[in-house]
């Protein structure tokens, strides 16, 4: 097992699990924090997987995920915010 | 294993440790505002360390540029998302006005 693959396993077991746990319990805001942490962990996981396999074309997946997760989180913060009285 | 490889594996291990510890510490804390503080170490310290380790492994090239772009994107968007989430949480609890700050 290469160190990159070992790192991917460590990240999956050590970081993705608590993020998944936070994303599945508590209030909506609590779960959103779990989703934010989880998307960062999965992005890094995919970079490590690309390094482990030596396939650089796989890097397009974490690149798109980093862009979409940032935009998606901002949409969630907009949707979860309380409604304005004027609107 | 030469010194460059040693530095590379040390950076990878340090980045992994920062991300893993951030996640477990966030899980241990209960308040949303405390949890939000632990998002930035993962994006602004852990991700760049892992990205630099990958850049050392790959050497100069398009792959390195793509990896570095991804980790810079994570480092830049992490604090922004943290601030947006904190503001939204404060609005839900009535700690700040809906419109502030403009």
Domain that holds residue B65: 3-92
User: In angstroms, how far is CA B91 from the centroid of its own chain?
Assistant: 25
Q: What are phi and psi of B49, to 5 degrees?
A: -65, -45
3-state secondary structure of A1: coil
**Nearest-CA residue of chain B relative to A7?**
B16
Summarize pLDDT for A4-19 with one digit per residue, the tens. 999 999 999 999 999 9
Summarize pLDDT for A32-72 with one digit per residue, the tens. 999 999 999 999 999 999 999 999 899 999 999 999 999 99
The residues in A 23-82 lying below 8 A from B, measured between CB atoms, are: 27, 29-30, 32-33, 36-37, 40-41, 43-44, 47-48, 51, 56, 59, 62-63, 66-67, 70, 73-74, 77, 80-82
pLDDT grade, residue A85 (50/70/90)? low
Q: Residue B93: what pLDDT?
A: 85
Cβ distance of A66 and B74 shorter than 8 Å? yes
In the predicted model, what is the mean pLDDT of residues B32-41? Answer: 91
Is residue A9 within 8 angstroms of chain B, CB to CB? no
Q: How many domains does chain B have?
A: 1
Instruction: Quote the minimal CA–CA distance from A3 to chain B in Å.
Output: 8
Task: Select from B25, B57, B56, B53 the least CA-distant residue to B40.
Answer: B25
Residue B102: inside a domain, yes or no? no
Task: Select from A1, A12, A33 the least CA-distant residue to B16.
Answer: A12
Residue B53: inside a domain, yes or no? yes
User: What ipTM does the predicted assembly reach?
Assistant: 0.90
């Amino acid at each position: 097992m290469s160190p990159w693959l070992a790192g991917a396993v460590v990240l999956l077991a050590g970081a993705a699990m608590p993020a998944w746990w936070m994303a599945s319990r508590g209030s909506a805001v609590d779960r959103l924090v779990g989703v934010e942490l989880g998307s960062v962990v999965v992005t890094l996981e995919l970079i490590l997987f690309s390094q482990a396999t030596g396939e650089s074309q796989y890097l397009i997946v974490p690149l798109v995920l980093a862009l979409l997760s940032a935009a998606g989180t901002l949409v969630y913060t907009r949707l979860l915010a309380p409604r304005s009285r004027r609107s | 294993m030469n010194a460059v490889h040693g530095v590379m594996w040390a950076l990878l291990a340090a980045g992994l440790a920062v991300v893993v510890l951030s996640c477990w510490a966030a899980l241990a804390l209960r308040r949303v505002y405390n949890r939000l503080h632990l998002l930035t170490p993962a994006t602004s310290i852990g991700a760049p360390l892992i990205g630099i380790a990958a850049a050392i492994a790959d050497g100069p090239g398009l792959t390195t540029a793509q990896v570095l772009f991804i980790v810079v994107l994570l480092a830049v968007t992490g604090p922004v998302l943290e601030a947006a989430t904190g503001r939204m949480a404060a609005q839900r609890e009535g700690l700040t006005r809906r419109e502030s700050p403009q």
